[in-house]
Structure 1
Amino acid sequence: MSSTPKKRPKTDPINPRRRTKATNNPSHSSYSSHSLLVEPPPDLFPSRSEFLRLVAVVAIAASVAVACNYVVTFLNSQPKPFCDSDTDFDFSDYCEPCPSNGKCYDGKLECIHGYKKHGKLCLEDGDINETAKKLSELIETRVCEAYTQFLCEGTGAVWIEKGKLWNDLDEQMENHGLDSPIYEYAKQKATDMVDELLETRTNIQGIEELKCPDLLVEHYKPFTCYIRQWIAKRALILVPLCALLIGSTWLLLRIRRRNYLSTRAEQLYNQVCDILEEHALISRSSGGEGDPWVVASWLRDHLLLPKERKDHTLWKKVEELVQEDSRLDRYPKLVKGESKVVWEWQVEGSLSSSRKIKKAVESKLKSNEGTSKSSNQQFRGLKAGQLLNS
């Protein structure tokens, strides 16, 4: 006898205690299987109580890690003792190696003179280093200035005794009252710096000497020294060039003076001719009452400027032109009891037309100026009188 098989009731995925009735519907079964594949299981995420327990465990672990790290750091911060300087073995695991410029004994560090302790190192003392720099600069200045004086003036020295320089500095430092230990160490450092900077040698007598390098001595030369050295190097070119320049200048000045003398002498000669010709015409027109001649020295003092009277060459040029002129006569004459050289115009006649016209214009201008000045003066006088009367 055939019997229908019983189907097992399914559990509800949301509420496991709830059971669903078995059904023979195939669509309903396929839908339930698809929902099982898509929705996550309920125990995938922890519950609230489980999450709080997890946070508490993480916090305790972090606190323990921090505490352990602090303990380890504190234990390691204890400084290791320094290894003795005389020890040749490597105890780097148990002690710190002794730094340079320091002495270590019984695990303690002491820096040598001139250095100060900074942590686990011995650093150079700034005061001593500054003093050493000043001492080296003093030595450099003295040596280089002496070499500069030798190059520029030829009176200095090229090589200077090293011991003599330091003895002079020792006396200066004693006068300034510098601390002896500091000065001695600074002097040692300065000696090393000077030996690196300057040139050194030992002479025949075994004395150490210092010399300023050629590149360094250039910074100590004054500007005048550069000029003298530049001229000395180019003397073979500059001497002929200067001679040519001076000769050309002298020649130009002579030509200029010659032109000036000739031009000025011609002007004076023309004035002499005009004066002598006028005197001759006046003398003839007045029936011989006036003298037709003029004393040459009087003409000279009348025509020349005060600064030109000192230049005898100029008047000699005028005398030469007068002597060459056949219209003028030169002869000695007794004037007021003294022998004088007089000049006289020998040609009969009047002035040339051009000179007449020129002199007429000049006289007319002068007369017009004179009348205008007199009228202005009269007008001013009248105006002043009116003001006084009013």
Structure 2
Amino acid sequence: MDRPAMEEKGRRRRRRGSPGRRGRTERSMARRQGRSRPEPRWSEPPPGLFPAGIDDLLRLLAVLAIAAAVAAACSVLNRRPAPFCDSDDPYSAYDSCEPCPENGRCVDGELRCVEGFKKRGRACVEDGLLTHTANKIAELLQHRICDEHARVLCGQPGMILFQQHDISSMADDLLSKDAARLSDDGIKVVKERVLQSAHGFLETTSTYDNVQAFKCPELAAELHRPLSCQARQWISSNIIFVITFCLLSAALLRILWSIYQRRALSKRAEQIYEQVCEILEDNAISAKAGNSECEPWVVTSWLRDHLLSTRERRNTLLWKKVEELLLEDSRIDQYPKVIKGEAKVVLEWQASGSLSGKIKKMQGAAGKTRSGSVGAIKLAEEICGSSIISSRDKEHCSSTSKEATNPFM
């Protein structure tokens, strides 16, 4: 076979190619390309590494929170606090120590609170027991000093000026009564505070020998006066006003009392007047009845003694008021009459129209009574009995009855 034929045959084979050769060619090309790109050293994470649900996430957060709290606690416990700077060393470097807190004294890096304060953590706080006791004793001391001044203002024996040793003695006396649960140092602190409070409240002055003294302010002393003393001093300073007020009050009360008495007298007189009218009307009805020996008149003095009580008889104005009402009534006639040899003033009911209405009313309301009817019946019986006797002496005493001129007894 010649050379050109062989080359042609080879070209046709290469043009067709074979699957195995083609695969080997691709693998060789991929191998050559892989040599130029490095392969990664790690692979995908396992499936159970991250939380799959909300429960796993909450557990993870709880574990992280506990770990953070433990780490913070260990950091705090392992950290040592910086010492305090000495109080006597004003040039201490604050970078290596903490400044001494207020109301405290620092020595060798340790804190000691002054009297009246307690150590709380790395600070000094005020002792509540000492403060309460000091305020209480200071108030009692002020009251005692001002009470003495108030006694002098009311004219009683007392003191106004107090020296330093007097105030100190009173403070010791009060502290001895209320020094429970206090140490000796605490009592000293309380006394110092009490004296400071007293000096701030009291006024400073000097005695005649130029010694410093203290006294209660005038306004506070006046407020400590007893109520009786204040009233007495106010009355003495306003005596003219008090006298005028008392006189006007007495006059006003007297006027009001007289008005009340007049109204009560008028009301009682009207009641008696109504009873008199009722008695006269009943007596007139009885006299007009058939076969009755009763007289239509009634003696005025008998009515007075029958209707008035013993106390009311002493009040002459009451019966005079009743007589005025009787004189103004046109239905009642008053005239003198001799009875048993004595001249009397009698009253007689003259309203005939009212009598007929009265009779009809009594006939239609049989069995019923009204106020004062019992007394009227009794008095009518007495009048009927006396009228029989008086009729026998009518002719004998006719001359005397004509001479009687006074209408009232």
TM-score, with length taken from structure 2: 0.50
Q: Cα distance, 1:315 vs. partner?
A: 1.8
Q: Which is further off, 198-207 or 184-193? A: 198-207
Does structure 1 residue 117 correspond to structure 2 residue 123?
A: no
Does structure 1 residue 202 correspond to structure 2 residue 201?
A: no
> Hey, what's the Cα distance between the residues in 2 that align with 1:361 and 1:145?
87
Counterpart residue number, 1:58: none
Asked whether the 8 Å contact 1:116–1:124 carries over to 2, the reply is: yes
- The secondary structure found in structure 2 opposite 1:315 is helix
For residue 172 of structure 2, the aligned residue among 160, 170, 173 is 170
The amino acid that maps onto 1:294 is V
The amino acid that maps onto 2:299 is V
Q: Cα distance, 1:185 vs. partner?
A: 0.8
For residue 336 of structure 2, the aligned residue among 329, 340, 346 is 329
Do the aligned partners of residues 48 and 240 (structure 1) sit closer, same or farther apart at CA in structure 2, a change above 3 Å counting?
farther
The aligned runs of 1:199-278 (5 Å cut-off) are 199-205=202-208, 206-211=212-217, 251=255, 254-255=258-259, 257-258=261-262, 261-262=265-266, 264-265=268-269, 268-269=272-273, 271-272=275-276, 275=279, 278=283
Asked whether the 8 Å contact 2:84–2:100 carries over to 1, the reply is: no
The aligned runs of 1:111-190 (5 Å cut-off) are 111-142=113-144, 161=162, 164=166, 167-176=169-178, 178=180, 179-190=183-194
Do the aligned partners of residues 195 and 42 (structure 1) sit closer, same or farther apart at CA in structure 2, a change above 3 Å counting?
farther
Asked whether the 8 Å contact 2:286–2:294 carries over to 1, the reply is: no
> Hey, what's the Cα distance between the residues in 2 that align with 1:167 and 1:46?
97
Asked whether the 8 Å contact 1:150–1:157 carries over to 2, the reply is: yes
> Hey, what's the Cα distance between the residues in 2 that align with 1:110 and 1:367?
112
Q: Cα distance, 1:92 vs. partner?
A: 3.4
Counterpart residue number, 1:355: 354
Higher relative contact order (CA 8 A, sep 6+): 2
Q: Report percent identity of matched pairs.
A: 27
> Hey, what's the Cα distance between the residues in 1 that align with 2:368 and 2:160?
86
| Cα deviation digits, residues 84-123 of structure 1 (max 9, x gap) | 52x3433434544444433344444433222233344333
Asked whether the 8 Å contact 2:285–2:355 carries over to 1, the reply is: no
- The secondary structure found in structure 1 opposite 2:112 is strand
| Cα deviation digits, residues 150-194 of structure 1 (max 9, x gap) | 99x898999674755653442243245544432221121233345
| Cα deviation digits, residues 36-87 of structure 1 (max 9, x gap) | xxxxx966x96429x9xxxxxxxxxxxxxxxxx99998896253363252x3
Q: Cα distance, 1:343 vs. partner?
A: 2.8
Counterpart residue number, 1:192: 196
Counterpart residue number, 2:299: 294
> Hey, what's the Cα distance between the residues in 2 that align with 1:16 and 1:225?
125
Does structure 1 residue 48 correspond to structure 2 residue 48?
A: no
Do the aligned partners of residues 114 and 227 (structure 1) sit closer, same or farther apart at CA in structure 2, a change above 3 Å counting?
same
Count of aligned pairs: 306
> Hey, what's the Cα distance between the residues in 1 that align with 2:236 and 2:41?
105
The amino acid that maps onto 1:80 is P
> Hey, what's the Cα distance between the residues in 1 that align with 2:124 and 2:131?
14
Q: Cα distance, 1:314 vs. partner?
A: 0.7
- The secondary structure found in structure 1 opposite 2:354 is helix
- The secondary structure found in structure 2 opposite 1:116 is strand
| Cα deviation digits, residues 326-345 of structure 1 (max 9, x gap) | 833288977xxxxx884324
- The secondary structure found in structure 2 opposite 1:300 is helix
> Hey, what's the Cα distance between the residues in 2 that align with 1:184 and 1:74?
40
- The secondary structure found in structure 2 opposite 1:92 is coil
- The secondary structure found in structure 2 opposite 1:207 is strand
The amino acid that maps onto 1:352 is A
Asked whether the 8 Å contact 1:161–1:208 carries over to 2, the reply is: yes
- The secondary structure found in structure 1 opposite 2:138 is helix
The amino acid that maps onto 1:181 is D
| Cα deviation digits, residues 180-238 of structure 1 (max 9, x gap) | 43222112123334555x35332445211233877x998x9999999999999999999
Does structure 1 residue 364 correspond to structure 2 residue 370?
A: no
The amino acid that maps onto 1:101 is N
The amino acid that maps onto 2:113 is C
Do the aligned partners of residues 264 and 333 (structure 1) sit closer, same or farther apart at CA in structure 2, a change above 3 Å counting?
farther
> Hey, what's the Cα distance between the residues in 2 that align with 1:227 and 1:365?
72
The amino acid that maps onto 2:215 is E
Do the aligned partners of residues 369 and 193 (structure 1) sit closer, same or farther apart at CA in structure 2, a change above 3 Å counting?
same
Q: Cα distance, 1:299 vs. partner?
A: 1.9
TM-score, with length taken from structure 1: 0.52
> Hey, what's the Cα distance between the residues in 2 that align with 1:320 and 1:42?
150
